Structure 1
Amino acid sequence: MAGHSKWGNIKHKKAATDAKRSKIWTKLIKEMTVAARLGGNNTGSNPRLRLAIEKATDANIPKNNINRAIQRGVGDVEGWHYEKIRYEGYGIHGAAIIIDTITDNRARTLAEVRHALSKQGGHLGTDGSVAFLFEYIGQLLFAPDTPEEELIEVALAAGVDDVITNNDGSIKVIFQPNNFAQIKATLEAAGFKSELSGVTMQPKTEVKFTGSQAINMQKLLDALENLDDAQDVYTNAVIISE
C-alpha cells in the first residue's frame, strides 16, 4: 500500500544521530546491559540482546566492551545499577510522545524529561496515557532508489505483514518483532540492505505538523533525544518539510 513521505524525517534523525556519535556508544552499552539482565546472555533466546549487539557492532564498539556490558547485565561484573524507565507525555497540539530511558538515577532523569517537555511546549503524562496509541512492530526502511517490485516479492515471500511505498519512493517493510533477525537476514541475503532497521513503536494515528509548528515540534523531539538517559523517543507527530 502507499504511504506519505517519510524519508525527510529519517534523514533528519540520522543526521542528528551522526552529530552526537560520541553518545551512541554509551546508549548502546546501556541497552546491552539491560537486555542481558532481563533476558540472559544467550542471543539465541534473547532477541533484544541480539539486536543490541548487532547495533553495537555496526557502531564499531570493540568486542571487549560488548562482552563487558553483557557480563555486567548478568551479574558477572560488579557495579550494575541501570534500570529502564518509560515516560509518556504530550507535545504541541497533544501529539503523543513516549520516551524510553535507561538510568542510574530516577530523580535526575524524571527532572530532565519533564524540563525538556515543558521548555518546548509539552508536558508529562501518566503511565498508559499515550501507550495505547502505539503498537510494537519490526521495520526495515529502504532508500527511494531501491528496486520496488523485487523487494516486495522477496519481502512477501519472507512472511512480512506489509510493504509500504511512500510518496517519496522510500519503502518500509513491517513485520512481527520476533521475526526481526530472520526477515532482515533473508532480505540482506537477497541484496537488500536497509537504511534504518529495528523494533519500534508505530503510531496507530498520526498528527501532521507544518511551518513554524513543525519547527517547534522538531525542537522538542531533538531536546528529548539529546538527553543522556534517553534511549528511544517515539511520537505520532509527522514533521512535513515545506
Structure 2
Amino acid sequence: MAGHSKWANIQHRKGRQDDKRGKVWTRVIREIMVAARLGGGDLDTNPRLRLAVEKAKAANMPADNVKRNIDKATGNLEGVHYEEIRYEGYGIGGAAILVDCMTDNRVRTVAEVRHVFAKHGGHMGAEGSVVFQFKHCGQLIFAPGTPEEKVMEVALEAGADDVISHDDGAIEVLTPFAEFEVVKHALEAAGLKPELAEVTMRADNTIELTGDEAQKMQKLLDVLEDLDDTQEVFHNTSLSE
C-alpha cells in the first residue's frame, strides 16, 4: 500500500462519493434487499444486513424505507429480484479492477460493463483473473494525529489482524470480515472514531499512476461507478494528478 498517499487518497475518494449522493440510496436499498434475501430479515442474526442498515442510517434513509425493502426481500411484499455478480478486468497500466454489481438483468449489465472497459482504455478479464490480488476484510482508517498506541492496543485486543501506520500519519486497521463490527465498536467505545470504516476488497499491493495515466484511470473508475447496476468498484492503484 502506498503509505505516503493513504490519507490523500481517502479524502479524494470521500469527496468524489459526496458528489454522487443521489445514487447512494439506490445502492443501499439493493444491498439491504440482497442481504435480507440471503440471510433473513433479523438484524441480530444477519451481520451483512446490519452493515447495510448502518449504511442506510449514515445516508439518512428513513426507517420506513429500510423496513419496506427488508419486507420485499423476505417475501412479505412484492419486489424486484436482484442477483449479485462480480466482473474482473484491467485498467490503465494493467491495473486490477473489480466491479461488484446487483442486477435484475445479467445480459444488460455485462454488456454495459464490457463497453465501459473497452471505451476507456481497459478490458474485461476472465473470472479469477485479478480477484486473487485482493483480500476481503474489514478496514478502518484513522486521521493523522490519532494516538497510534491506543489504536493498536484496542484493535488487536478486539480481534484485528493488523494495524498499519502510513507515512502520512494515517492509521489503518485491518480485521477479518467476521470481526469487523466487534473491532469497530471497541474502537468507538474507546473514543477512537474512524474516518472510514467498511468491509472491502483491499488490494494486497498497489501501483502508482500519475499524470495522464492517473486521469485516464480515474475516468474509467468514474464511469464504472456511475453504471446503474454498480454497487462497488475496487482497484489496486494510487492516483496522483
Give the TM-score taking structure 1 as reference length: 0.95
Letter in 1 for 2:89: G
Letter in 2 for 1:153: E
What does residue 135 of structure 1 align with?
A: 135
Q: Does 1:176 align with 2:176?
A: yes
Letter in 2 for 1:180: F
Superposed displacement of residue 45, structure 1:
2.2
Can you list the C-alpha shifts for 1:180-222, whole angstroms capped at 9, x where unaligned?
1111111001111111111111112322211211111111111
Runs of 4+ aligned residues of structure 1 deviating over 3 Å after TM superposition are 1-4
CA distance in 1, matches of 2:3, 2:155: 17
Can you list the C-alpha shifts for 1:97-125, whole angstroms capped at 9, x where unaligned?
11000112222211221122112100111
Do 1:2 and 1:165's aligned partners in 2 also have CA atoms closer than 8 Å?
no
Q: Does 1:151 align with 2:117?
A: no
Letter in 1 for 2:143: A
CA distance in 2, matches of 1:49, 1:131: 24
Percent of aligned pairs sharing the same letter: 56
What does residue 22 of structure 1 align with?
A: 22
CA distance in 1, matches of 2:2, 2:96: 24
Do 1:145 and 1:169's aligned partners in 2 also have CA atoms closer than 8 Å?
yes
Letter in 2 for 1:17: Q
Superposed displacement of residue 169, structure 1:
1.0
Letter in 2 for 1:206: T
Superposed displacement of residue 150, structure 1:
2.0
Can you list the C-alpha shifts for 1:145-176, whole angstroms capped at 9, x where unaligned?
32222222222222211111111111110010
Give the TM-score taking structure 2 as reference length: 0.95
CA distance in 1, matches of 2:54, 2:22: 18
Letter in 1 for 2:99: I
Q: What is the CA RMSD across the aligned residues, in angstroms?
A: 1.6
CA distance in 2, matches of 1:73, 1:145: 43
What does residue 38 of structure 1 align with?
A: 38
What does residue 82 of structure 1 align with?
A: 82
Any stretches of 5+ residues in structure 1 without a counterpart?
Answer: none
